[in-house]
Structure 1
Amino acid sequence: MFARPNPQMGTQRDVLPQRAAALGIDVLLLGILVAAAGFVLGAGLPLVAVAAVVAFGYLTYFEGTYGQTVGKRLMNVVVVNHRGYPCSYRAAAVRTLVGVVDALPSFFVVGLASILLTDGGQRIGDLAAETVVVRSTERGARM
């Protein structure tokens, strides 16, 4: 695998387009995984449960391990705590769980408003987890 990229602190207000693109990439990737599961499970509650577990696991694992999901890696941004230290698994889990609030009422309106209105460019999940998303100063080896 690869080492976590180094954060470029102070850039959290500049990465909104990269964050949006990273979200789109991750949603597309998760959609493909859930669609594949749908072929096996069919529609219904089991598929919803699998989708929730896969999304939670994907976001928590990649952000807790590398500070980046596939989308964030491609967009050259990284999640770190507010002091620039690596995002922990706990912080990644909090970001992910509270991210449900960010998605309200639809299309991440609350999260976008929070990013635009907070000094640190943080969505609600970031505020709860004490994290920021900043530019990465380097790209590591491939995942």
Structure 2
Amino acid sequence: MDDSPRTLHIAAWDDRFLAWLLDVLLVGVVLSALGEAAGVFSLLTGSLSVTTPFTGLNGLGLFVYWTVLEGRQGQSAGKMVMNIAVTDERGEAIDYGTAAIESFGKAFLLPLDILVGWLAYDEEGIRLFNKLSSTIVIETDEEDGKPTDVEYVYPDDK
């Protein structure tokens, strides 16, 4: 058993923002398409109303999306693209309950969640709801998940 400490690289705020933006766009497009197809979107929001990612169906859709994906695999689509993941403070996978707590802040209270994080936990690089759920967002290695006894030869390597 190796007693040396594990090194975890906390994800940068800009990577986290880009992952969040990708997720908001993805979920927004899906919800809009489903809402338009069902004829419900305009009834719920009004044809001229402006919604934010933190209200109504968008907030609920984002909350469910992040809770399910991050509780299952630690990564949403945006996090996969940016090679970052949500873990517990030891770098281990989180469960659905922990993901729900962590996701609540960014789905419904993001401005407050980030502001408190920047003011109170800037050194740790976490949001308020990361603190409440004992989670961190770390950089992932692109090589994770690949077998160690296999060498891949890519088309440009020939």
Structure-to-structure mapping, 1:93-108, within 5 angstroms: 93-99=100-106, 100-104=108-112
Quote the residue 2:117 is aligned against: 114
Larger radius of gyration: 2
Q: Contact 1:67 / 1:78 at 8 angstroms: preserved in 2?
A: yes
Structure 1 counterpart of 2:151:
none
Offset of residue 57 of structure 1: 1.5
1:115–1:63 Cα change, 3 Å: farther
What is the CA-CA distance between 1:46 and the residue it aligns to? 7.6
Instruction: Name the TM-score, length of structure 1 as normaliser.
Output: 0.76
CA distance in 1, matches of 2:45, 2:7: 41
Q: Which amino acid is 1:42 matched to?
A: F
Instruction: Name the count of aligned residue pairs.
Output: 128
| Structure 2 unaligned regions, length at least 5 | 1-5, 47-54, 147-158
| Contact 2:8–2:91, Cα closer than 8 Å, also in 1 | no
- Offset of residue 9 of structure 1: 4.3
Q: CA RMSD in A?
A: 2.6
Q: Distance in 2 between matches of 1:38 and 1:116?
A: 38
> Which of structures 1 and 2 has the larger relative contact order (alpha carbons within 8 angstroms, sep 6+)?
1
Distance 1:68 1:116 in 2: 26
Cα deviation for residue 96 of structure 1 reads 1.4
Cα distance change, pair 69–124 in 1 and its aligned pair in 2 (3 A): same
With the length of structure 2 as denominator, give the TM-score of the two structures. 0.69
Identical pairs, percent: 28
Supply the distance in 1 between the matched residues of 2:77 and 2:119 (Cα, whole angstroms). 24
Distance 1:17 1:61 in 2: 23
Paired residues for 1:1-143 under 5 Å: 9-12=7-10, 14-39=11-36, 40=38, 41-45=40-44, 49-99=56-106, 100-104=108-112, 110-111=113-114, 114-115=117-118, 117-118=120-121, 119-138=123-142, 140=145
Change (3 A) 1:140 1:32: farther
